[in-house]
Chain A
């Protein structure tokens, strides 16, 4: 199918336009149209999953059209093993988020229009292969998030929204500078990433290091890496459920995706030099620090937010290993974490919609009144802990096994965090779902069909990937092994190799 990526990316935008044209009072109609707008992308994603060529490192389904010819800017999109999982993840999570947004009752039109715009932005980031286009989509993704958090969020929404926006934007400025340096350094000037990958020999190592650091900071803010992470707990806590899901499920992955696509691809020599401190050490610190902070939280959503920080640390550690297992584990973890954390936030939403608070100590014995909900929560919690048989185990084990071969000490520290993770999750489960029933919640309604529909697909994926991870590993393996080779070659020669 031609132009499948362009269709996937822009159909939601079309949907946004349609939503804006609908009358504002017809909430149900708006929600249905919004859902319908995300479904074609999902179906195309399924098709893409089947049709994707798993044996090649080339970019597939490429659309390459000159856009702003005087500056050599092109509309250049394509997908390879690194981005395919992210595209599929986005295509999957967006309809689920629309379903989860059914509780929105004010400014409904604006909410769904912004959300669909956000979907376009996210998909665009993952498929863009022209740096300028990438940057445009990156910014496109920022603004709807600001409004979605700032208008439809919780009590401190303005603070959280502006913090998120300024933090990410500051990073974007660094990315812009780096982008321009790369543009002007290439002869002829171009933003085409595939071309830039061959041109970094032009810069001396010091410049390459600086460029790498600038881009790294921009992406590190998104991952988020300590110490640039404090926007995340606030943004998650204040955002509405569906937005938290998409933030944790997709947006965080843009940081690591950016590092893989740009830092690794375009600046491999600098990557080899800086990966230890920037990725391995900080990643390990993220794992442990995130788990410790989660242990101290009393707000369930904030706890899940910190657990996200912890899990993303695995991705960084895996990436830094430059072994087949490490990098495959890292990208698999990106996908797995997307599904698991989406489940977690949806589950938080279930109880928040009913009780209107998220204080862990304020609940107790929910399993008595909501057994099905408890079952799903147990599944999600054990998946988050990396219980073997569920998807996260495979990715975490691959990451750690791969990382051990280069950094045994760091890996030992990272592995010890599995105890902490089990600690805070089991403790939370005990306080909220087990134990004697807190009388004021004796009449809470059980999880309903709509909420189940959002959770079941994710649960199925978590279960299936635990026993058959090759559904995803086959997609990513070829391209990631090639990426490892690029970095190793770059480290050896100081020049990029494609």
Chain B
């Protein structure tokens, strides 16, 4: 859309990053943390795409965004596998319950 300044995309990306960070840091639910990570990743994606649009080489940013999506998918798969393992060991997906590595 013509005339939408870059800053607006960046702010959206920032807001999403902040929300994602807040989710990761404060959620006790393991799946919730994973969701937060997704938000973080997607916020980064918005940043990439925005900068791609307003730069001379748009393809760089877009390719990175596709890498990130791929990475997010892999990470989600692995993360969910770990959560499943945690659930099997600790009978809960509350991260406070998995404190076996405490000193």
Q: Touching in the complex, A and B, CB below 8 A?
A: no
List A residues at the B interface (Cβ < 8 Å): none
